[in-house]
Amino acid sequence: MSRVVAVVGGGISGLAAARVLAGARLASPELRTGSGRQDGRPDIEIVLLESDDRLGGKILSGEFRGRSVDFGPDNFLTRNQSVTELCDQLGIGDDLVAPATSSASVVARGRLHPLPAGLILGLPPDLVALARSRIVSGRGLARAALDLLALGAPISASSLGLSPEQAANGHTGEGAAGARDPGGPEWSAASILETRLGRELVERLVDPLLGGINAGGLDQLSLVVVAPQVARALVGHRSVTRALRLLARSTPKPSTSVSAKPRPFFLGMRGGLGRMVDALVADLRDRGVQLKTGTAVTALRHARDRYELETANGTIVADGVVLAAPGYVAARLLVDEAPAAAAELGSIPHSSVSLVTLAWPSDAISGLPQGSGFLVPRCEGRIVTGCSFLSSKWPDSASAGEVVVRASTGRYGDERPSSMSDEELVDAVLVELRELIGASVPPLASLVRRWPRAFPQYLPGHLRKIERARAALSELPALKLAGPSLGGIGVPACLTTGERAAVEVRDRLSQ
């Protein structure tokens, strides 16, 4: 008799989970060993339940001034090769493109300053390049240089939330279950870095980059979640800068061309990342997966080894479940059957982001700098947190003679955009863009896209929280979690969580 698996949530995590359950080859290299090895078509019926009327979740491409642009992610890191491999499997690998430019700037004292070369997730191994960038003051630079004297105690694994085993074997989060407790409180990323490098450097350079990716602030983020390789590289070192230099030497240099080896650090998709969702959905249909959009799951019950998922369109009975909806939705669904897991997931805070896409005639912008965009430190107090120059990054996204930019607003602790109307938000953004890039005439068009509660905030202790949630879920066989709440906001990381959950459910059902 065939078994039924319900996948809740049709973003990349859920779509990837459904595809593996339907017998596709794994795209995540790290899962291709161990229990997930055997591919092939198992006897499983898959039903994917999505509350929205479209699939893709945060991945959304659409039309703006007659061109395709992304209103969610527009590129992804290639370090985890899951997305590139998936695109190859879907036959769209040749449409992956590197951004035409990847250099960026940061706002300091009201002006844009190009980022120094060689940064590692916003951290500078090269203080001379930092000095030339003029992002920090002479005093801030001198304070950062003190780090080279290596005067403090070595950075301990426990302050990073790592057990000695995790620090030694490189495992964090996923797959780290069972490791000894670190034996002390985890410090925030800002506390660890400011102690060594000083506040100004962290506030003006590292926070806008590393905090910005997560729409949060480093004083509230876990370094081991937002920059795991950096966190591990710091263990046992007295100087952050020296540890970064060692890390830089062991990291392959990026390429700017998609055909060159090694791959570029970032890739996007010609025509927008939404094309990956379209190809994935077509593939799932071919594999016989039932895709039910407009079908929110409102309750989940577990009885006699089966799950009942309540939706507005009726009840789905399943032998296994992948919960790939946001963590706060999973928390609501688990509240009766696994209250301890629900409490852990429900306590993860989220930040909301609103994007404003704008177009001008090219000659109307007097100060558009080279590069892909700029970031804004929180201490500047502006509403814009960053701005992507879409027409510079992806030349196909704008008609000839037009400039298209996408301003981001909103981050953890700054809810101003959520309380503004679209019109007020566009006006507030325009005031700042006039000053920063010289956009002094009204735009040809503007479009606001809101993403409420889109970014889970990985507070110090996040990985322990997820371990506790997982342990509390062990009473529910063949029910697994996927998505960014587990630790890792990027599309590749989410894809891997979906595939891992699918493998675990499939393995459990074949026992």
Ligand X SMILES: Cc1cc2nc3c(=O)[nH]c(=O)nc-3n(C[C@H](O)[C@H](O)[C@H](O)COP(=O)(O)OP(=O)(O)OC[C@H]3O[C@@H](n4cnc5c(N)ncnc54)[C@H](O)[C@@H]3O)c2cc1C
Binding of residue 480 to ligand X (CB under 6 A)? no
Residue with tokens 């342990």: 471
Binding of residue 160 to ligand X (CB under 6 A)? no
Residue with tokens 């669904």: 333
Contact residue for ligand X among 4, 9, 22, 352 (CB under 6 A): 9
Closest by CA to 352, choosing from 420, 292, 444, is: 420
Site size for ligand X (CB under 6 A): 35
Q: How far apart are CA 405 and CA 390, in angstroms?
A: 5
* Nearest CB to ligand X, comparing residues 72 and 161: 72
Closest by CA to 162, choosing from 218, 245, 221, 223, is: 223
* Nearest CB to ligand X, comparing residues 210 and 491: 491
* Nearest CB to ligand X, comparing residues 67 and 406: 406
Other beta carbons less than 10 A from residue 486's beta carbon: 26
In the complex, least distance from residue 440 CB atom to ligand X, rounded to whole angstroms: 27
Alpha helices in 388-490 (DSSP H): 390-393, 422-437, 462-472
Q: How far apart are CA 84 and CA 338, in angstroms?
A: 36
Residues 432 to 451 in contact with ligand X, rule: CB under 6 A: 451
Other beta carbons less than 10 A from residue 85's beta carbon: 19
* Nearest CB to ligand X, comparing residues 355 and 368: 355
Binding of residue 484 to ligand X (CB under 6 A)? yes
- x/- string (CB under 6 A) for ligand X, residues 57-96? xxx------------xxxxx--------------------
Binding of residue 502 to ligand X (CB under 6 A)? no
Binding of residue 10 to ligand X (CB under 6 A)? yes
Binding of residue 46 to ligand X (CB under 6 A)? no
Q: How far apart are CA 491 and CA 249, in angstroms?
A: 27
In the complex, least distance from residue 191 CB atom to ligand X, rounded to whole angstroms: 26
* Nearest CB to ligand X, comparing residues 14 and 198: 14
- H or E segment and range at residue 282: helix 274-286
Contact residue for ligand X among 4, 329, 331, 398 (CB under 6 A): 329
- x/- string (CB under 6 A) for ligand X, residues 454-473? x-------------------
Contact 254, 96 (CB under 8 A): no
Sole window of 164-172, 236-244, 434-442, 486-494 interacting with ligand X (rule: CB under 6 A): 486-494
Contact 397, 69 (CB under 8 A): yes
User: Can you read off the two tokens belonging to residue 130?
Assistant: 């930092």
* Nearest CB to ligand X, comparing residues 15 and 44: 15
- x/- string (CB under 6 A) for ligand X, residues 289-328? -------xx--------------------------xxx--
Binding of residue 356 to ligand X (CB under 6 A)? no
Binding of residue 385 to ligand X (CB under 6 A)? no
* Nearest CB to ligand X, comparing residues 60 and 398: 60
Closest by CA to 377, choosing from 388, 368, 369, 386, is: 386
Q: Is 76 helix (H, G, I), strand (E, B) or coil?
A: strand
Q: What Cα–Cα distance (Å) separates residue 114 from each residue in 99, 117, 132?
A: 17, 9, 10
Contact residue for ligand X among 7, 17, 36, 50 (CB under 6 A): 50
Contact residue for ligand X among 108, 123, 355, 359 (CB under 6 A): 355
Q: How far apart are CA 14 and CA 488, in angstroms?
A: 15
- x/- string (CB under 6 A) for ligand X, residues 415-434? --------------------
Chain center to CA of 386: 16
Sole window of 3-11, 24-32, 255-263, 421-429 interacting with ligand X (rule: CB under 6 A): 3-11
Contact residue for ligand X among 6, 49, 316, 404 (CB under 6 A): 49
Residues 93 to 122 in contact with ligand X, rule: CB under 6 A: none
In the complex, least distance from residue 57 CB atom to ligand X, rounded to whole angstroms: 2
End-to-end CA distance of the chain: 14
E strand map for 30-142: 44-49, 61-64, 67-70, 76-77, 96-97, 105-108, 111-114
Q: Is 422 helix (H, G, I), strand (E, B) or coil?
A: helix
Q: Which residues of this protein are in contact with ligand X, per CB under 6 A?
A: 8-14, 49-52, 57-59, 72-76, 296-297, 324-326, 329, 353, 355, 451, 454, 483-484, 489-491, 494
